[in-house]
Amino acid sequence: MIDINNFDAIEIGLASSKKIRSWSWGEVTKPETINYRTLKPEKDGLFCERIFGPTKDWECYCGKYKRVRYKGIVCERCGVEVTRSKVRRERMGHVDLASPVSHIWFFKGVPSRIGYLIDMAPKELEKVLYFAASMVTWVDEEARDKDVGKLEKEVKKVVDSYEVERQKRTQELSESLERRVKYLEEGDQAKFDDEDHIWADSLKLTAAQLRKLKDDERSKMIKELRKQFDAEISDTEAYLEEAAERMQEVWKIFTEMKPKDVINDETVFRELKDRFGSPFGWGEYFRGGMGAEAVRDLLEQVDLEADCEELEQIINTSKGQKQARAVKRLKVASAFLHSENRPEWMILDAVPVIPPELRPMVQLDGGRFATSDLNDLYRRVINRNNRLKRLLDLGAPEIIVNNEKRMLQEAVDALFDNGRRGRPVTGPGNRPLKSLSDMLKGKQGRFRQNLLGKRVDYSGRSVIVSGPSLRLQQCGLPKLMALELFKPFIMAQLVERKAVQNIKAAKKMVESMIPEVWDVLEEVIHEHPVLLNRAPTLHRLGIQAFEPILVEGKAIQVHPLVCSAFNADFDGDQMAVHVPLSAEAQAEARILMLSANNILSPAHGAPLATPSQDMVLGIYYLTYGPDAEELKAKEAELQEGKGRNGSAPVQVFRSSQEAELVYENGGCKLQDEAEYRGGRGGHFLTTVGRIIFNEKIERSLADALEGEFDPSTFVFNNASLKKKDVNAMVSELVVAYGAPVVSQVLDAFKDLGFQYASKAGITVSKNNVVSPPEKQEILDRYESETEAIVGQYDDGYITAEERHEAVTAKWNQATDEVAKAMEDNLDELNPIFMMADSGARGSFKQIR
């Protein structure tokens, strides 16, 4: 027996009707599900125990055999095998169809596989499958060409016979009219036949009454009689002329007929079949019909190897649309050839019935039942199939049988893929029923929901919030979640400490959440990394490892700098936590997947964990001040001695601690200019904020490199840092010191950013939105220029297209000019200006 948990690959292919029957444990012949009095499955129904297995372990339907000692015995009374009830999840049944049906996936899919294989347009194919038209499937051209002379004579005979019949019938009607007119005029019944006698009796006139009729009454009766006979003669002539024309049309179709010809006129096809396609006619020169049976006949004749060779030749010799279609057809034909699936398997003689436990029926509190939609769809198929069998046994007219076959085809279509063709079959409340395809496809389908989205042991998920106090390699794990995730480790530790005697007592102790448990949890999570994953995992940085820190609440805390790698934000995003169990998995998580070791993008190699938004705004506010040129000019003044003794003295700082102390005590502002005398000699002009920023970064670099840091390699950044400048600085540090070192320095960027963004206290109000004074003048100027352009158009100097382009160009220039004026007009410490200029949020394009 195959071990379903041990396999190398899965191959999905078409199942032939023979294969479907080989899977089946029995045929489902009744649409019933369960008996509503006994609540037991109905025999031969959709839940039959004889087919699908017992509903109770080791017990047959009638109760003759109970207990495991009768394992494997088939009850001779009810036919149910004594086995486990779980077989009802595995055993399949089948429904033998009274008429073949096509599989909707292969007919209605894009492209239509059946259409490509037999080279037919899907519209024509649909007409044939749903009994709106007939199709020729095979023509014996040799016999037709051989007997064409003889057959033409037979056709001529039939056409001539119609003409003879027309003349004969017209004469008979004329004679009958003469006799009846003579009877009305003279009362003579001498040459009457049976029909004439019946007509005379229907008048209810005696000979005496007939003689007493007034002349105008008699002439009126004769007139009506002549009118009636004229209509009958013309109807007869029209009918027989139509029959003769139809015969000639049938002959024309027959002589030009080839396989895959679709005939829309049912009467013409019936005549064609009776004359040239039946042993009771003039011979079997062709085969044809309606529905899936006709399509299967064509599919059985498909020679895949020959078709592939022919299509390859077409591809090599033709171009354009013909070549493109040949390529698509070759793709389908070669796929069938190499997979060893037969084309005729796309037409089904039997429909598989999936195990009942996969389409359950459960009793609700009020005594009612809830059932899977599949049971309703199967019930429709079985009902229609049984009705079709009954009609075929009764020998019902072809039109009724064809209608029932079409309904069966539609029922099977709805079972496989409800709504793919036409209106979907609906249940209570006008809700479309879920078909087999719906069970597989989409987010709620078997693959995404149950196979890819399986529940995983040692995992949990929760909403994420920002954790600004975390280090880059840390994440905040809610205490209750950590307790559940690490429960087995805590229990093992408690037993090892001899705090409890056994695992059962340990579990009880953990669930009681006594203080000792939290102490053990702290110990267990120490240096035990966890994996955080945010769906969708689009690249390898979608899963990263972190050292867990226990936090209150129920939300997972995430370091702000890893958000860009996860593409996460805090508007309700959720993340999953997974615990690596083995020592190898933990080592792998720590070395390969730790967030601090994954700050570079695998796509382009640049740092991903760079400050953004609030952090950028804080760093911009901290380092805001004069640009390089201004500082150089002032530095020249300092070197001339004007800085200390002149009219504009500046403060002198030897370290950031000194600068910070003065700032904290209100002795200076962050944007104030100051002379900095670092530890490497020399002095230069900068701002208080830049001294604090550079020395903090330098100190964190020194801590990361420990004794290996060379202060002379660190370059003091003496400029206002915008987002792109911060990113460039991080990239330079990565080049100079490597990613592992920089990952430790990034926390200094984050801490400084958040600290000084808070100190800046930046908010936005309507008063910060300042219109430039020259805005109206700019708009008026461009308004007059556009009016001039419109005037040129009105005078016929330019076309409508040229006018449109010129006006659009003018207003684009106006927009850019207003934006420039607004940018120049805004104060540099205006919150909106700072946000846009720093790159923290928004842009001048959005503000203008």
Q: Tell me: the pLDDT tens digits for 363-374? A: 888 888 899 999
Query: What confidence score (pLDDT) does residue 283 get?
Result: 81
Tell me the two tokens of residue 643.
């800085």
Instruction: Find tokens 């009724």 and name the residue.
Output: 400
Compare 329 and 166 and report the one with higher pLDDT: 329
624 φ, ψ to 5°? -65, 140
User: Residue 682 burial by CB count (10 A; 0-12/13-18/19+): exposed, middle or buried?
Assistant: exposed
- How far apart, in whole angstroms, are the C-alpha atoms of residue 623 and residue 718? 8
Q: Give the CATH architecture of domain 448-597.
A: Beta Barrel (2.40)
- How far apart, in whole angstroms, are the C-alpha atoms of residue 73 and residue 66? 11
The whole-number average pLDDT for the span 23-44 is 92
Tell me the two tokens of residue 553.
């609440």
Query: Do 626 and 685 meet the contact criterion of CB atoms below 8 Å apart?
Result: no
Between 503-512 and 515-525, two packed helices, what is the crossing angle to 10 degrees?
100
* Local structure of residue 708 (DSSP, 8 states): G
Q: Tell me: the pLDDT tens digits for 635-677? A: 776 666 655 444 446 788 888 888 888 888 888 888 888 888 8
Query: Do 651 and 672 meet the contact criterion of CB atoms below 8 Å apart?
Result: yes
Query: What confidence score (pLDDT) does residue 2 get?
Result: 62
Q: Is the bond into 548 cis (omega within 30 degrees of 0)?
A: no
Query: What confidence score (pLDDT) does residue 683 get?
Result: 74
Mean pLDDT of the chain: 88
138 φ, ψ to 5°? -155, 140
Query: What confidence score (pLDDT) does residue 824 get?
Result: 82
- How far apart, in whole angstroms, are the C-alpha atoms of residue 394 and residue 401? 10
- How far apart, in whole angstroms, are the C-alpha atoms of residue 322 and residue 547? 62
Domain positions in the chain: 17-132+348-440, 139-289, 448-597, 614-760, 766-847
- Is it the case that residue 771 has pLDDT exceeding 90? no
- Is it the case that residue 709 has pLDDT exceeding 90? no
pLDDT band at 125 (very low <50, low <70, confident <90, very high): very high
- Beta strand residue intervals within 455-584, DSSP E: 459-466, 474-478, 530-533, 543-551, 556-558, 574-578
Tell me the two tokens of residue 649.
């003295």
- Is it the case that residue 705 has pLDDT exceeding 80? yes
Q: What is the CATH number of domain 614-760?
A: 1.10.274.100
Backbone region of residue 716 per phi and psi (left: phi > 0; alpha: psi in -120 to 50; beta: other values): beta
- Is it the case that residue 201 has pLDDT exceeding 80? no
Query: What confidence score (pLDDT) does residue 207 get?
Result: 64
Query: What confidence score (pLDDT) does residue 206 get?
Result: 66
Same fold, 448-597 and 614-760: no
Tell me the two tokens of residue 760.
């800046």
The whole-number average pLDDT for the span 55-65 is 91
- Is it the case that residue 725 has pLDDT exceeding 60? yes
Query: What confidence score (pLDDT) does residue 679 get?
Result: 59
Q: Give the CATH architecture of domain 766-847.
A: Orthogonal Bundle (1.10)
**What is the DSSP track for 744-762?**
HHHHHHHHHHHHHHHHHT-
Residue 347, CA distances (Å) to 45, 179, 251, 300, 343 in order? 25, 62, 32, 10, 8
- Is it the case that residue 119 has pLDDT exceeding 70? yes
pLDDT band at 517 (very low <50, low <70, confident <90, very high): very high
**Kind of pairing, strands 543-551 and 459-466?**
unpaired
- Is it the case that residue 391 has pLDDT exceeding 50? yes
- How far apart, in whole angstroms, are the C-alpha atoms of residue 294 and residue 317? 32
Q: Tell me: the pLDDT tens digits for 772-782? A: 888 888 899 99
Residue 763, CA distances (Å) to 284, 434, 840 in order? 91, 52, 13
Range name among 435-439, 683-687, 700-704 with the lowest pLDDT average = 683-687
- Is it the case that residue 148 has pLDDT exceeding 60? yes
- Beta strand residue intervals within 667-715, DSSP E: 673-676, 684-687
- Is it the case that residue 742 has pLDDT exceeding 50? yes
Farthest CA pair distance, the chain? 156
The whole-number average pLDDT for the span 6-11 is 84
Query: What confidence score (pLDDT) does residue 687 get?
Result: 85
Query: What confidence score (pLDDT) does residue 649 get?
Result: 64
Query: What confidence score (pLDDT) does residue 98 get?
Result: 96
The whole-number average pLDDT for the span 744-770 is 89
365 φ, ψ to 5°? -60, -40
pLDDT band at 681 (very low <50, low <70, confident <90, very high): low
Q: Tell me: the pLDDT tens digits for 443-502? A: 888 888 888 888 899 999 999 999 999 999 999 999 999 999 999 999 999 999 888 888
Range name among 236-245, 419-428, 673-682 with the lowest pLDDT average = 673-682
- How far apart, in whole angstroms, are the C-alpha atoms of residue 326 and residue 836? 57
**With a threshold of 0.85, does the pTM exceed it?**
no
Tell me the two tokens of residue 646.
């002149």
286 φ, ψ to 5°? -155, 165
* Local structure of residue 816 (DSSP, 8 states): H
Query: What confidence score (pLDDT) does residue 664 get?
Result: 84
pLDDT band at 46 (very low <50, low <70, confident <90, very high): very high
3-state secondary structure 314-346: HHHHCCHHHHHHHHHHHHHHHHHHHHCCCHHHH
- Is it the case that residue 8 has pLDDT exceeding 70? yes
Chain CA centroid to CA 524, Å: 43
Query: What confidence score (pLDDT) does residue 647 get?
Result: 46
